[in-house]
Amino acid sequence: MFCKMTKINLSKLNIRKAHELMQNGEVSARELLSFYLGNIKKHEKNIHAYLEVFGDAFEKAEEVDKKIKAGEEMPLLAGIPMGIKDNILIEGKKCSAASKMLEDFVAPYDATVIKKLKNEGAVFLGRTNMDEFAMGVSTEHSAFGVTKNPHDLERVPGGSSGGSAAAVAQQECFAALGSDTAGSTRQPASFCGIVGMKPTYGAVSRYGLIAMASSFDQIGPMTKTVEDAEIIFDAIKGTDPMDSTTSVGDPMSHSECVTSDLTIGVPKEFFFLDGENKGVDKDVEENTKRAIDIFKGLGLKIKQVSLETLKYAVEIYYIITPAEVSSNLSRYDGVRYGLSKNGDDVLGDYLKTREKGFGDEVRRRILLGTYVLSAGYYDAYYGRAQKARNLMKNDFEKVFREVDVILSPTTPSPAFKIGEKVDDPIKMYLEDIFTCAANLTGVPSISLPSGLSGNLPTGIQLMAPWFEENRLFELGKLFEKNQ
């Protein structure tokens, strides 16, 4: 826990402080890396946050140390050990999306976010476990074993970025990258007691992210503090010619955000300001009320708002995303790349490859997506869901004329037990009830630790208008400071 040379508690450092200590020569990048690798050695057999720990991490850390010794002023992320979700490509490293289908796939190029982090000098510790192809909310759907919650080894860490969340919470990395399609950075962050952020759709390049649902997916930081999330976001954001959905220009330059002038909206459909509990666990409810009181005490205005389309969010999401899944995963056919199994003919090859390569949840979503896109059902399901998605976006636009930020619980309950919901897809899908609206509308969102339920963390979620990430960071830091 402590640096032997200086007795500095390495577990308590944030990115800015770690950078200062490394730049001043009080801590080396190698020492920092050794601390996290030591924790991996100690805890990983119980947690299973990683699918692979990279063997060249020390080499990268020593490169940073040499540059510092030579007098170079390094970027903030130089020497920071990070975990990378196993659906983000790192050139020359395996990237399996936690699926047998891509078990031996080696990335031929870097994802844009990886290029940016390499330019910053970040050190990649390894690839973290996840639900297969990011389809799940518990990391129970990994083809390579379940990740466990560091706060209770009988419980899930959330998903699909459960490995990244568990690694940060267990001090097995300084910070991590996850991807978020319906809450996959925020829900595991809430379950593991860390910060998880989903940027505005288009704020961060998806180039080199193995696609689940292309109009939803976003890469985001998972960290110990809000400021750390902000630093990583600032490093990975921006327009990318390799991803046409990234924003044009730079609407994300941080404008002044006077937090005391902000109004926080609490949707009655999400929560309980009208006196009716919406299926929220009692401790989650109390912790969220306490968070509202903290903001009130700091002079912010709290306003009840209505977002009528929210009640359809889960249904809309689970029509559109399986449709995109069935399209995106059609490339895994046993012919071009990935797993290949021989059948009696071409169709037999396809069937055997997919039977052996895909898990139950992936097959379930492919079937759902193929059904809603099929002749006779396209307009009844997919077409109507897209119209409803547009109505939801309009709802958010109206509400953001009244308030500056929307607040809710991140999840309806703390982490559930491993195996508790794995055989009930509907219960699993309802875990996304508070988080998927941000993906449907494309707005930025962040989950902040908001207290405990027994020994289990709970979280609150803040959503801001498009490209107003600065509001989330400023309010998040304010909340963190006054907890």
**Three-class SS string for 443-470?**
CCEEEEEEEEECCEEEEEEEECCCCCHH
What are 105-146's pLDDT values in tens digits?
Answer: 999 999 999 999 999 999 999 999 999 999 999 999 999 999
What are 391-445's pLDDT values in tens digits?
Answer: 999 999 999 999 999 999 999 999 999 999 999 988 899 899 999 999 999 999 9
Q: Is the pLDDT of residue 258 over 70?
A: no
pTM metric for this prediction:
0.96
The verdict on 299 and 447 lying in the same domain is yes
Residue 429 counted as domain residue: yes
Catalytic status, residue 408: no
Q: How confident is the model at residue 250, as a pLDDT?
A: 53
Residue 273 counted as domain residue: yes
Residue 366 counted as domain residue: no
| Domain at 285, CATH number | 3.90.1300.10
Cβ–Cβ under 8 Å, residues 268 and 229:
no
Q: Read off the tokens for 174.
A: 């300084």
The verdict on 232 and 266 lying in the same domain is no
Residue 478: closest CA among 300, 323, 342: 300
| φ and ψ at residue 245, rounded to 5 degrees | -90, -5
Residue 248 counted as domain residue: no
Cβ–Cβ under 8 Å, residues 482 and 298:
yes
The verdict on 170 and 302 lying in the same domain is no
Q: Which of 34, 60, 85, 179 is catalytic?
A: 85
Q: Is the pLDDT of residue 257 over 70?
A: no
Q: Give the structural domain span for 286.
A: 259-314+380-482
Residue 335 counted as domain residue: no
Structural domains in the chain (count): 2
Strands ordered across the beta sheet of 405-409: 50-53, 123-128, 81-85, 175-180, 218-223, 195-198, 445-453, 456-463, 405-409, 263-267, 301-305
Q: Which of 160, 161, 205, 450 is catalytic?
A: 160
Catalytic status, residue 417: no
Q: Is the pLDDT of residue 278 over 80?
A: no
Catalytic status, residue 69: no
136 vs 131: CA distance, rounded Å: 5
What are 353-381's pLDDT values in tens digits?
Answer: 999 999 999 999 999 999 999 999 999 99
Residue 321 counted as domain residue: no
Q: Which of 28, 34, 184, 450 is catalytic?
A: 184
Residue 185 counted as domain residue: yes
Q: How confident is the model at residue 274, as a pLDDT?
A: 45
The verdict on 143 and 218 lying in the same domain is yes
